A and B are shown apart, each in its own frame.
Chain A
Amino acid sequence: MTSDQLAWKIRRHGIEMTHLSGGSHIGAVLSVADIIAVLYADVMNFDINNPKAESRDRFILSKGHAGAAIYAALAECGFFDTEELKTHYQNGSRLSGHVSHHVPGVDFSTGSLGHGLSAAAGMALAAKQDKKNYKTYVVLGDGECNEGSVWEAALFAVHFGLDNLVCIVDHNKMQSLDFCTNTLSTTPLASIWQGFGWNVIEIDGNNHEQCLEALKNGTVKGKPTVIIANTVKGKGIPFMENDILWHYRFPHDGWEYDTAVTELHKTKPLGVTDPYTPDGIENPVTPDENADIYNDHTMSATYKPTWFKKEKEQ
């Protein structure tokens, strides 16, 4: 499967999984889909018949709330049946909303932000000590970079020269309630990582060629690499893009689900079959004039404290 095909499948599964479960974080699933797809289609070494193979590359999705993306990728790669994806969030399922290592192909459970880079650094350090060749990849959110532990790990990875560690920041510019710059700004993100001593590459994180080039040829000797992947939250479904509403809201029955699927079908790559609605949706419900669409749902739209006014960032 090509990375384009896999990315499309991740998005389609993501819509279905959140639609069926009422689950959150579809916006994050859509922003990170391309990064995950390139990693699993073209970069990482793994063996679906031996998920714990010693020579495999390690992967941690530190922004564990985008777990649906990783489950979709693993199922599409053959670690388990894609049919199981429908159990996401359901009673008795192992497919928890946040990533679980009880799922084949998952190296590390996450869900509390700010843990993944440290654990990945531990794996990378062990590889150095034991002269093993695997690489460790970890995906962080930009909102996650609010966590102090991220910066403890950033210092650590540089100090110990972990050049076998690649961190990708899904820089979709948004976090739970608002844009990052309106919350606890880590702008300019690339300079901050540079200041910590990392090899920094900045790319369009929804562009597969750029992702692949950075992942394949971007690392340097002697220090860890961070790829600042500029992405769009909700990427691929225009009415979800850059709207914080879709951090938590799931595509409901009616125009939300129908429009999401219809939008995805407009960009379906050749050779991909939609497992849920193979021919798209006939006569999809469309949003009426009351639909909550293209409205500003950020906290700062209505949060106006009297004592504090955020200066505009340069």
Chain B
Amino acid sequence: MRDTFFATLSQLAKENKNIEVVTGDLGFGVLKPFWEAHPDQIINAGIAEQNLTSVAAGMALEGKTVFTYSIGNFPTLRCLEQIRNDCAYHNANVKIVCVGGGFVYGSLGMSHHATEDIAVMRALPDVTVLCPGDLVEATAVTKAIAKYPGTCYVRLGRGGEKKIHSDNIDFEIGKAIKVREGKDVAIFSTGAIFEEIAEACEILKENGITPTVYTFPTVKPIDTETICEIAKSHKLIVTCEEHNLSGGFGSAVAEVLAELPSHARLLRMGMNDQYCTIVGDQKYLRDQYGISGKKIAEKILHEVK
């Protein structure tokens, strides 16, 4: 997903000389093609995320579209106030790009697990929050934000994500994407956990359940229309995110549902307000914290039976 993002951005940078990348000393082996192709459109600001983020705001106010790049929590939590005051409040055209949403860096330990970023970024006015679910979404998101004014946060997986959608998705910022139509149960996911949903659906199918599936590449603004529609036509909505349950994607969906007079029941899946105290690869940790395809399917089956 990271490679797809930079390949797309490199293409865009060729056409738009106002695109700038500012990296926080990360991107070994990934950014090389970009800096070789566009040496005047990238700087390494060193290991200094607070400065990097305000520098990006300053550049953006001078007319540039600036992509800040780092991993895990470094481009967000480390410099949260710079995002709030300098980027968002000024409507600065800064796109904050995080590689490593959720358990991507599972073996590296808690410091590198980005599991509250969606909640925190979603809480900021004038920040658009995007979590592409596969390579097709990643390409579409990259293209869209390059043209979209204001501050955006993009949460990417790292590598190994599959292409799940067909190439021609109907992507628009703020709109969910329908993956399949089913009945009674609807699954909403955001970000790279999408691949686990695909796996869960196979298990559910064997058990006679065909859920409706949507991905939400945009968490903010949330697609209220789709949520309201599904809340009427389905019995159970399941949200799934590689993130803490407090304030995350499931919470965004819950906020919409709670204001409806009646709606489908909601089952949220994610980390249950906890930090990860063990390490392991992404797949392993997803399973440990109940968001592997198998665990997702089991919980849904338990819920509907």
Which A residues are within 8 Å of any B CB, using their own CB?
101, 107-112, 114-115, 118-127, 129-130, 148-149, 152-153, 155-156, 159-160
Contact A112 B85 (CB under 8 A): yes
State the Cβ distance, B30 to closest chain A Cβ, in Å.
Answer: 22
State the Cβ distance, B125 to closest chain A Cβ, in Å.
Answer: 14
Contact B43 A160 (CB under 8 A): yes
Q: Does B63 reach chain A (CB closer than 8 Å)?
A: yes
- Residues 62 to 76 of chain B near chain A (Cβ within 8 Å): 62-64
State the Cβ distance, A225 to closest chain B Cβ, in Å.
Answer: 18
- Which residues of chain A are within 8 angstroms of B40 by Cβ–Cβ distance? 129
Closest to A160 in B: B43
Q: Which of A111, A122, A130, A159 contacts B85 (CB 8 A)?
A: A111
Contact A121 B51 (CB under 8 A): yes
* A160→B101 CA distance, assembly (Å): 31
Contact A119 B58 (CB under 8 A): yes
Q: Does B57 reach chain A (CB closer than 8 Å)?
A: yes
Total chain B interface residues with beta-carbon distance under 8 A: 27
Sample 7 A-B pairs with CB under 8 A, ordered by A number.
Answer: A109-B90, A115-B81, A118-B51, A119-B61, A149-B51, A152-B50, A153-B51
Contact A115 B59 (CB under 8 A): no
Q: Which of B48, B53, B56 contacts A155 (CB 8 A)?
A: B48
Contact A114 B50 (CB under 8 A): yes
Q: Does B27 reach chain A (CB closer than 8 Å)?
A: no
Contact A156 B59 (CB under 8 A): no
Q: Does B46 reach chain A (CB closer than 8 Å)?
A: yes
Residue pairs across A and B with CB atoms within 8 Å: the count is 91
Q: Which of B46, B50, B57, B81 contacts A122 (CB 8 A)?
A: B57
Q: Does B89 reach chain A (CB closer than 8 Å)?
A: yes
Interface of A is mostly: helix
Closest to A120 in B: B58
With A101-B90, A122-B55, A156-B46 known as contacts, the answer to whether A127 contacts B85 (CB < 8 A) is no
Closest to B55 in A: A122
- Which residues of chain A are within 8 angstroms of B86 by Cβ–Cβ distance? 108, 115, 118-119
Q: Does B54 reach chain A (CB closer than 8 Å)?
A: yes
Q: Does B82 reach chain A (CB closer than 8 Å)?
A: yes
Contact A118 B58 (CB under 8 A): yes
Contact A119 B62 (CB under 8 A): no
Contact A122 B43 (CB under 8 A): no
Contact B90 A126 (CB under 8 A): no
State the Cβ distance, B182 to closest chain A Cβ, in Å.
Answer: 49
Contact B59 A108 (CB under 8 A): no
Contact A122 B59 (CB under 8 A): yes
Contact B46 A109 (CB under 8 A): no
Q: A111-B85, A115-B85, A123-B61 are in contact. List 4 more A-B contacts (CB 8 A).
A: A152-B50, A152-B51, A152-B52, A156-B46
State the Cβ distance, A156 to closest chain B Cβ, in Å.
Answer: 5
Contact A112 B81 (CB under 8 A): yes
Q: Which of B55, B81, B89 contacts A125 (CB 8 A)?
A: B55
- Which residues of chain A are within 8 angstroms of B43 by Cβ–Cβ distance? 125, 160
Contact A159 B59 (CB under 8 A): no
* A123→B57 CA distance, assembly (Å): 8
* A28→B16 CA distance, assembly (Å): 44
With A118-B82, A120-B58 known as contacts, the answer to whether A156 contacts B50 (CB < 8 A) is no
* A126→B65 CA distance, assembly (Å): 11
Most buried by A among B46, B81, B85, B89: B85
With A112-B81, A118-B54 known as contacts, the answer to whether A126 contacts B46 (CB < 8 A) is no
Contact A125 B59 (CB under 8 A): yes
With A126-B62, A130-B62, A160-B43 known as contacts, the answer to whether A115 contacts B90 (CB < 8 A) is no
State the Cβ distance, B186 to closest chain A Cβ, in Å.
Answer: 42
Q: Which of B53, B58, B89 contacts A123 (CB 8 A)?
A: B58
Contact A107 B89 (CB under 8 A): no
- Which residues of chain B are within 8 angstroms of A111 by Cβ–Cβ distance? 85
With A108-B90, A119-B57, A127-B62 known as contacts, the answer to whether A152 contacts B48 (CB < 8 A) is yes
Contact A149 B50 (CB under 8 A): yes
Most buried by A among B51, B52, B53, B90: B51
Q: Does B45 reach chain A (CB closer than 8 Å)?
A: yes
Closest to A149 in B: B50
Contact B48 A156 (CB under 8 A): yes
Contact A119 B55 (CB under 8 A): yes
Closest to A122 in B: B58
- Which residues of chain B are within 8 angstroms of A110 by Cβ–Cβ distance? 85
- Which residues of chain A are within 8 angstroms of B46 by Cβ–Cβ distance? 152, 155-156, 159
